[in-house]
Structure 1
Amino acid sequence: MMNCMNEETIALTEPGQAAPQNGAAFPATHWSVVLRARQSGEPQAAAALAELCQTYWKPVYAFLRRQGNTPHDAEDLTQGFFAMLLERDSFACVEEGKGRLRSFLLVAVKRFAANEHERDSALKRGGGKMTVALDAEEMEQAGIIEPATTVTPEILFERQWALALLDSVLVKLRDEYAKDGKEVIFNALKDRLSADGDSTTLAQIAATLSMSEGAMKVAVYRLRQRYRRFLHEEIALTVESPSEVNAEIVHLFKVFGQNTG
């Protein structure tokens, strides 16, 4: 997991701030493709939903673990849940989810967890089968599911959703820097995405990379600008229209402000 994100990195893009513009039109999003498929049956919808599920399996796993399932059962249930989601028309929860992938998945997994027959079927369906490539052991080792906490499954889902989204942003940002041959700069400056960053001064980083401190300041500015763009684009993949992006950013602020136990 690459996650070094927190509320400070979200704060780089304030609610209400316009998405950075690069001249391109706002793209059709994965989730909007899935929603249109409810009526049109577009074949690319299955692939779009599968990609979204791959990115956002961690909140579902965390929810199921917080409900008291063992790591093994939670892993099988997660696989079975997504298998069910991808195999049949599971969009009855979309309206209740207000057209957002985050809300849709939370409603769907809550109903799934409450349905004993679906859970039993999912355990059989998920056992030994790979619907999404998940690494539950990584989550357990990271102490994500702390048994002593009083946090609800719903709050844990929301927090893991936000972390998964930010992790996806960071991976895409790193990949862009690597493509440009600047991965060394990214690795040196990624901690500067937060407001304070680490204790290493820009002058020290500049000396390590044989760059001037002024050039380092420009590099940090550009990194944050790219981060803002990728954050908006990632959130856009999970909502129905661009008008909902700022509302989702506000929601991320609230999630990180919640008591997590």
Structure 2
Amino acid sequence: MVRSFQTTRWSLVLAAGGDTSPAARAALASLCELYWYPLYAYVRRRGRSPDDASDVTQAFFTALLERHDFDQLSPERGRFRAFLLASLKHFLANDFARRRAQKRGGGAAPVSLPLDHAEERYAREPADATTPEMLYERRWALIVIERVLSTLRHEWRRQQREQEFEALRSCLLGTAPPGGYAATAAALAMSEGAVKTAVHRLRRRFRTQLRQNIAETVSEPSEVEEEIRYLIRTLAL
């Protein structure tokens, strides 16, 4: 189990330290591609324009992948989400002048971000008093959940059970499906017992996938459960 954990992407980056290996750089780039949007949302919530937020986000990841010294990571920043936000704040405070001199799209960016669609996503954010930090954490949590659901949907689609998955996924929060198990069983032409069994297996698979996704973004196995509890609290806000 420990060996498996040590080969996850963020653990690989941390193990490389300042002398980041090609494998660690690729792992970091992969993580950045998955989790860039919470940072874009953070910058927008701080009052930046869409174009400015796109420039900041791309320039930040370019700088992060080209120059960052991972030896400077402290234990409390061992979680990838915390590391990203702290690094962005540092970037905004100390590297803004250089970022202003860069042109979006100039040079070869180390990671390609789908920034053309970022504002479409941000336009769906609630127009409330949520702080930039709170929005960042919530977007992070939702992206993790979306990744898990996408993996599960793909698995059930391969089994030609996607309709069943869509009918049962609302049960992942521990509640019965709309209309109860009997109504769902009738809609799926299954017995009520078969539906309950399928829900149990889906929940178990969801927990497994959630732990695997979280493990990719923390530095120690002991942090996984704590991070899951934090994710649940964040979604409850």
Aligned equivalent of 1:6: none
Question: 1:228 is matched with which residue: 184, 200, 207?
Answer: 207
1:45 Cα shift?
A: 0.9
Task: Indicate conservation of the 8 Å contact 1:202/1:213, yes or no.
Answer: yes
Give the Cα–Cα distance (whole angstroms) in 1 for the partners of residues 163 and 206 of structure 2.
17
1:132 corresponds to which residue? 113
CA distance in 2, matches of 1:25, 1:189: 31
Number of residue pairs matched by the alignment: 232
Partner of 2:81: 102
Alignment counterpart, residue 173 of structure 2, candidates 186, 194, 209: 194
SS in 2 for 1:176: helix
2:151 paired with 1:169: no
- Equivalent in the alignment of 1:212: 191
Q: Residues 6 and 12 of structure 2 are in contact (CA less than 8 Å); yes or no, is this contact kept in structure 1?
A: no
What is the CA–CA distance in structure 2 between the aligned matches of 1:40 and 1:88, rounded to whole Å?
11
Q: Structure 1 stretch 203-212 or stretch 127-136: which is displaced more? A: 127-136
Closer, same or farther: CA 93–118 of 1 in aligned 2, 3 Å:
farther
Give the CA deviation at 1:224.
Answer: 0.2
The 5-angstrom pairing of residues 82-161 of structure 1 reads: 82-91=61-70, 94-95=73-74, 97-115=76-94, 116-121=96-101, 124-125=103-104, 131-134=112-115, 135-142=117-124, 144=125, 146=127, 149-161=128-140
Q: Cα–Cα, structure 1 residues 126 and 65, in superposed 2: closer, same or farther, change >3 Å?
A: farther
- Please state how far the C-alpha of 1:138 moved relative to its aligned partner: 3.2
The amino acid across from 1:136 in the alignment is A
Percent of aligned pairs with the same amino acid: 45
Greater shift after overlay, 181-190 or 226-235? Answer: 181-190
- CA deviations on 1:59-108 (whole Å, 9 max, x unpaired) are 10111001101122212221221122122224365216531101100101
CA RMSD of the aligned region, Å? 2.5
Counterpart contact for 2:177–2:184, Cα < 8 Å: no
The answer on whether the counterparts of 1:64 and 1:74 sit within 8 Å (CA) in structure 2 is: yes
Query: What displacement does 1:184 show?
Result: 2.2
8 A Cα contact 1:77 1:126, kept in partner: no
Contact 1:61 1:74 survives alignment (8 Å): yes
Query: What amino acid sits opposite 1:41 in the alignment?
Result: T
TM-score by length of structure 2 reads 0.87
Greater share of residues in helix? 2
TM-score (ref. length: structure 1)? 0.79
Q: d(CA) in 1 for partners of 2:207 and 2:151?
A: 12
Query: 2:193 is aligned with what amino acid?
Result: G
Secondary structure of the residue that 1:150 maps to in structure 2? Answer: coil
Offset, 1:29: 1.0
Looking at structure 2, the residues matched to 198 and 65 of structure 1 have their Cα atoms a distance apart, in angstroms, of: 37
Higher RCO, 1 vs 2 (CA within 8 Å, ≥6 residues apart): 1
